[in-house]
């Protein structure tokens, strides 16, 4: 048995259905005008089920499970590298370890986030959590807090700029956008 019929497979399918229905409703009616009750109804589940999978409405857009992987990849880089170089190498390593996400779904999520001012705080909190994970990884490797924070903020700002530009086009993959940002950070290549 592959486990897809078990609770975790069912839970993952429900989570995915909720996310897909949310994207469709957000695109059709706007993020702010769409309620969690509408999303749950479209997915054929209760609103309580929605909140079991996503603690808040913004998590349907701003969910990022990659922080531990990123922190581990940054921590695994040689301590002799400068902080920004460690982050870039760590991000490259983390990205290489992940399967390529479904491009159109990620593009849709980023577009909605970019076009919805009420999501700015959730996006900032999400980025700050990633930044904190990177800073902790660097600090554990002997980097002082201020240089670690500056390097992490610079790297994440570059990634965010690349993702926002990528989301507004229909060209390239998410991997292309990430690689482009990392190339610029890694010596100014473009």
Do residues 137 and 180 both lie within one domain?
yes
For the record, the structure tokens of 42 come out as: 């479209």
In a domain, 85, yes or no: yes
Per DSSP, the residues of the chain read: --STTSHHHHHHHHHHHHHHHHHHHHHHH-TTT--HHHHHHHHTS-HHHHHHH-SSTTHHHH--TTHHHHHHHHHTS-TTS-HHHHHHHHHHHHHHHSPPP-HHHHHHHHHHHHT-GGGHHHHHHHHHHHHHHHHHHHHHTT--HHHHHHHHHHHHHHHHHHHHHHHTSS-S-HHHHHHHHHHHHTTS--
Let me know: does 162 contact 177? Beta carbons within 8 Å. yes
CATH number of the CATH domain containing 35: 1.10.10.60
How many domains does the chain divide into? 2
Residue 141 CB burial class (10 angstroms; 0-12, 13-18, ≥19)? middle
Q: Are residues 45 and 95 in the same domain?
A: no
Residue 99 confidence (pLDDT) = 79
Confirm whether 144 is domain-assigned: yes
pLDDT averaged per 10 residues in sequence order, the chain, 190 residues: 53 92 96 97 97 94 82 94 96 86 83 91 89 95 95 95 89 88 82
| Block residue for tokens 């900032």 | 124
The CATH number linked to 124 is: 1.10.357.10
The per-residue pLDDT for 97 is: 85
Residue 148 within any structural domain of the chain: yes
8 A C-beta contact, residue 62 and residue 48: no
Tell me what pLDDT residue 104 has: 82
Structural domain boundaries enclosing 17: 7-60
């Amino acid at each position: 048995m592959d486990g897809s019929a078990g609770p975790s497979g069912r839970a993952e399918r429900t989570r995915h259905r909720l996310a897909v229905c949310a994207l469709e409703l957000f695109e059709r009616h706007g993020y702010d005008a769409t309620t969690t009750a509408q999303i749950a109804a479209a997915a054929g589940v209760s609103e309580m089920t929605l909140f079991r999978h996503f603690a808040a409405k913004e998590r349907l857009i701003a969910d990022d499970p990659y922080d531990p992987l990123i922190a581990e990849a940054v921590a695994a880089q040689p301590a002799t590298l400068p902080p920004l170089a460690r982050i870039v190498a760590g991000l490259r390593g983390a990205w290489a370890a992940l399967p390529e996400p479904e491009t159109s779904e990620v593009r849709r999520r980023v577009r909605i986030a970019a076009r919805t001012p009420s999501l700015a705080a959730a996006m900032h909190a999400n980025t700050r959590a990633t930044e904190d994970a990177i800073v902790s990884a660097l600090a554990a490797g002997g980097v002082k807090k201020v240089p670690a924070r500056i390097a992490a903020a610079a790297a994440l700002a570059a990634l965010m700029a690349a993702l926002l530009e990528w989301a507004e086009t229909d060209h390239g993959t998410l991997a292309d956008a990430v690689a482009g940002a990392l190339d610029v950070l890694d010596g100014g290549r473009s």
